[in-house]
Amino acid sequence: MAELFDLVGIFVFALTGALMGVRKRLDVVGMAVLAEITALGGGIMRDLVLNVSPVAFQSLGYVLVPLAAATVVFFWHPHVTRVMPLILVLDAAGLGLFCAVGTAKAMEYGLSPLHATLLGVTTGVGGGMLRDVLAGEIPTLLYDRQLYAVPALIGSAAMAGMSWAGLNGWPVALGAAVLTFGLRIAAMRYNWRAPLARGVGE
């Protein structure tokens, strides 16, 4: 079940990467690259920091699912764009899941709660950051105008705190994921924004 949720999150993240490729007028290769890097980049960065073999290279599905998402966008991107609100909701769910799982894994490998929190955020937003860099955009992590990294940080911190207190398992991870998801959805619903430096206009 855990791997199924993982693959669903990977598929949704890959859709956003492939759609970025469409907006940038990239060919099918460029779309596939952005789909793969968006879906898998955060997890690969996490595993490299933990000095373990990346999960993405241990299962064929982790590579094929982003390619399937890129194929869907390649042929039907106008239809995918029309259901973008649903994709954003699923993206928020994927963000919450990836942050919780990434933080939990970091804690299992003996990292401090602070470092585990940072690695959880990396798991959730790292792929999108790499996508933005490759596409020539300001990474969301550096310009959090739609409260994407902030919910990831809060959810990851909650996961690290509960794990440090001895609370582990899927119910705990699910709670942290739901917290991230809820904050991200609220940010989209109420148009919450991270503040700019004092004196800097919108």
pLDDT tens track for 51-78: 999 988 888 989 999 999 999 999 999 9
CA distance 53 to 172: 25
Instruction: Give me 146's structure tokens.
Output: 């739609």
The tokens describing 165, both together, are 């207190």
Write phi, then psi, for 187 (nearest 5 degrees). -65, -40
Q: Report the residue count for the chain.
A: 202
Task: Please check the confidence at residue 165 and state whether its pLDDT lies above 60.
Answer: yes
Q: Give the whole-angstrom CA distance, residue 12 versus residue 87.
A: 7
The arithmetic mean of pLDDT across residues 148-163, rounded, is 95
Structure tokens at 192: 């919450």
Q: Name the band, by pLDDT with cuts 50, 70 and 90, for residue 34.
A: very high
In sequence order, which residues have a C-beta less than 8 Å from that of residue 175 and are 6 or more positions away?
A: 158, 162
**pLDDT digit string (tens) for 105-133?**
999 999 999 999 999 999 999 999 999 99
Indicate if the pLDDT at residue 100 is higher than 90. yes
Predicted local confidence at residue 141, as pLDDT? 74
User: Which tokens belong to 157?
Assistant: 């911190």
Query: Residue holding tokens 């996490």?
Result: 46
Long-range contacts of 31-34 (CB under 8 A, 24+ apart): 31/70, 31/73, 31/74, 32/66, 32/67, 32/70, 33/134, 34/131, 34/134, 34/135
Name the average pLDDT for the chain.
90
Judge whether 120 and 106 are in contact, CB under 8 Å.
Answer: yes
What's the pLDDT score for residue 71? Answer: 96
Under the banding of pLDDT at 50, 70 and 90, the label for residue 42 is: very high
